[in-house]
């Protein structure tokens, strides 16, 4: 399994069409990708861990590609189940990019907790229950 960590566009500023770009906010938790490239079972592990930690999470849709390293990681070798966890980032690709320390700390806590609880027996095959 592989979990890509990246940033995603926060849409919590005036003038953004949230119907078009989604509603991603700073300090509302890490952002999980959902879509064809993403392994649902890894996302389920992340969601269960967030629930255990009483941590809010957000979602973004990635129908075909994520635009991140997850796209290449999933095609490595015979294929690798991947997930993508992103930090909301306001004003991306500008001199005033803004992220929340709270979101950064929560993402670290989430990933550490999830990884620490892996047994090595997880079935990530999307065709099996």
- How confident is the model over 8-43, as pLDDT tens digits? 999 998 888 888 888 999 999 999 999 999 999 999
pTM of the model: 0.92
Q: What is the pLDDT of residues 77-124, one digit of tens each?
A: 989 999 999 999 999 999 999 999 999 999 999 999 999 999 999 999
121 within a domain of the structure (yes/no): no
126 within a domain of the structure (yes/no): no
Q: Residue 19 CA to chain centroid, in angstroms?
A: 20
Number of structural domains (the chain) is 1
Q: Report the alpha-carbon distance of residue 16 to residue 25 in Å, rounded.
A: 12
Average pLDDT, the chain: 95
Give me the phi and psi of 42, to 5 degrees please.
-65, -40
Q: Tell me the HSE value of 76 on the side-chain side, using a 13 A CA sphere.
A: 11
Is the separation of the CB atoms in 60 and 88 below 8 Å? Answer: no
125 within a domain of the structure (yes/no): no
Q: Which residue has the tokens 């566009």?
A: 9
User: Which CATH number goes with the domain that contains 14?
Assistant: 3.40.630.10
Which domain does 53 fall in, by range?
2-116
Q: What is the pLDDT of residue 126?
A: 85
């Amino acid at each position: 399994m592989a979990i890509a960590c990246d940033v995603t566009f926060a849409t919590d500023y005036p003038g953004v069409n949230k119907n078009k770009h989604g509603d991603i906010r700073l300090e509302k938790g890490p952002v999980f990708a959902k879509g064809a490239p993403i392994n649902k079972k890894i996302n389920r592990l992340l969601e269960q861990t967030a629930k255990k930690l009483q941590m809010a999470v957000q979602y973004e849709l990635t129908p075909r590609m994520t635009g991140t390293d997850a796209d290449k990681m999933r095609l490595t070798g015979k294929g690798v189940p991947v997930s993508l966890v992103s930090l909301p980032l306001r004003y991306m690709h500008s001199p005033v990019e803004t992220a929340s320390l709270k979101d950064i700390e929560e993402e670290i806590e989430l990933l550490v907790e999830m990884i620490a609880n892996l047994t090595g027996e997880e079935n990530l095959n999307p065709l099996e229950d």
